[in-house]
């Protein structure tokens, strides 16, 4: 069966520090991968998505970047965090060939102080 | 992607059917209707999806109007664990790039 792992679960980082959040999927190949962010009390905002290794589409210009170094690995990064980067970050995957819908990871709650 | 309109909040008594409406009047012919829910501090969970016909699975039923401009998610016997934010989304077929989530309906199940 397919599983998605996202870590860490919580993170407190100072302003100006770097960020690296990792997401991996097991049990499938060539998934579509997504990073979403949810600010407190708000809906989900799509940040990046990837349909293959090295293929990244950015939805919102901002202080973040994403990379997909391996087929089932998706990384969200920042060189210098801002206070406005605080939020709940969610990784998700889906597969073009199967009727599974999006499967989300358990999320990372990031607080920038 | 077509946009959806949902009531911001709803209450439902435990054990009763919860009916969550969604308007998607600008949906195009090849777009599906998806429903997800998000329990507090967790990632959203897929519930059900459909194109034209009504759908049912172990979690819920989806009723889509004939003109496809609106739909209703039905939780037949709501429990306290169904308290969550429910998102109605329209978008292309599965796996085809991206889905855009709105703010959803906050459903509260009342004991």
**Each residue of A68-102: pLDDT tens digit?**
999 999 999 999 999 999 999 999 998 765 566 78
**Out of A51, A90, A103, closest to residue B46 by CB:** A103
**Out of A32, A59, A104, closest to residue B95 by CB:** A32
Confidence of residue B91 (pLDDT cuts 50, 70, 90): confident
Tell me which residue has tokens 């801002």: A82
Residue A98 to residue B95, Cβ atoms within 8 A: yes
Cite the beta strand spans of chain A per DSSP E.
3-7, 10-13, 19-26, 32-38, 44-52, 55-58, 65-70, 73-78, 87-94, 103-104, 108-112
Gap between the terminal Cα atoms of chain B: 37
Q: Which residues of A touch B100 (CB under 8 A)?
A: 46
Taking only the tens place, the pLDDT of each residue in A19-52 is 999 999 998 888 899 999 998 878 888 999 998 9
Query: CA angle, A3 as apex, B96 and B106 as ends, to 5°?
Result: 70
Residue B43 to residue A109, Cβ atoms within 8 A: no
Residue A105 to residue B49, Cβ atoms within 8 A: no
For residue A29, what are the β-bridge partners?
A: none
A26: preceding bond cis by omega (within 30 degrees): no
| pLDDT score recorded for residue B97 | 60
**Preferred mutation among A6, A33, A41, A43 to probe B, highest tally of B CBs within 10 A:** A43
Mean pLDDT over B67-76 rounds to 96
Tokens of A12: 């407190």
Taking only the tens place, the pLDDT of each residue in A53-66 is 999 988 886 789 99
Residue B95 to residue A96, Cβ atoms within 8 A: yes
Q: With a cut of 80, say whether residue A106 has pLDDT above it.
A: yes
DSSP conformational letter for B82 = G
Taking only the tens place, the pLDDT of each residue in B11-67 is 999 999 999 999 999 998 888 899 999 998 889 999 999 999 899 999 999 999 999
Q: With a cut of 60, say whether residue B95 has pLDDT above it.
A: no
Query: CA angle, A16 as apex, A40 and A93 as ends, to 5°?
Result: 50
| pLDDT score recorded for residue A71 | 94
| pLDDT score recorded for residue A60 | 80
């Amino acid at each position: 069966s397919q599983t998605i792992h996202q870590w860490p679960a919580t993170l407190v980082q100072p302003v100006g520090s770097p960020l690296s959040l990792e997401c991996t999927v097991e049990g499938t190949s060539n998934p579509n991968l997504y990073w979403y962010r949810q600010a407190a009390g708000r809906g989900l905002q799509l940040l990046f998505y990837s349909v293959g290794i090295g293929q990244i589409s950015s939805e919102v210009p901002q202080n973040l970047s994403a990379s997909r170094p391996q087929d089932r690995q998706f990384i969200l990064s920042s060189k210098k965090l801002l206070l406005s980067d605080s939020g709940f970050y969610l990784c998700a995957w889906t597969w073009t060939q199967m009727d599974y819908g999006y499967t989300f990871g358990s999320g990372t709650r990031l607080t920038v102080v | 992607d077509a946009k959806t309109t949902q009531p911001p909040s709803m209450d439902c008594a435990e054990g009763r059917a919860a009916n969550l409406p969604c308007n998607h009047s600008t949906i195009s012919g090849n777009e599906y209707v998806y429903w997800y829910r998000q329990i507090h501090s967790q990632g959203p969970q897929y519930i059900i999806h459909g194109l034209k016909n009504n759908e049912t699975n172990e979690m819920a039923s989806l009723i889509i109007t004939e003109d496809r401009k609106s739909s209703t998610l039905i939780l037949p016997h709501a429990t306290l664990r169904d308290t969550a934010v429910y998102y109605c989304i329209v978008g292309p077929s599965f796996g085809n790039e991206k889905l855009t989530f709105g703010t959803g309906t906050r459903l509260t199940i009342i004991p």
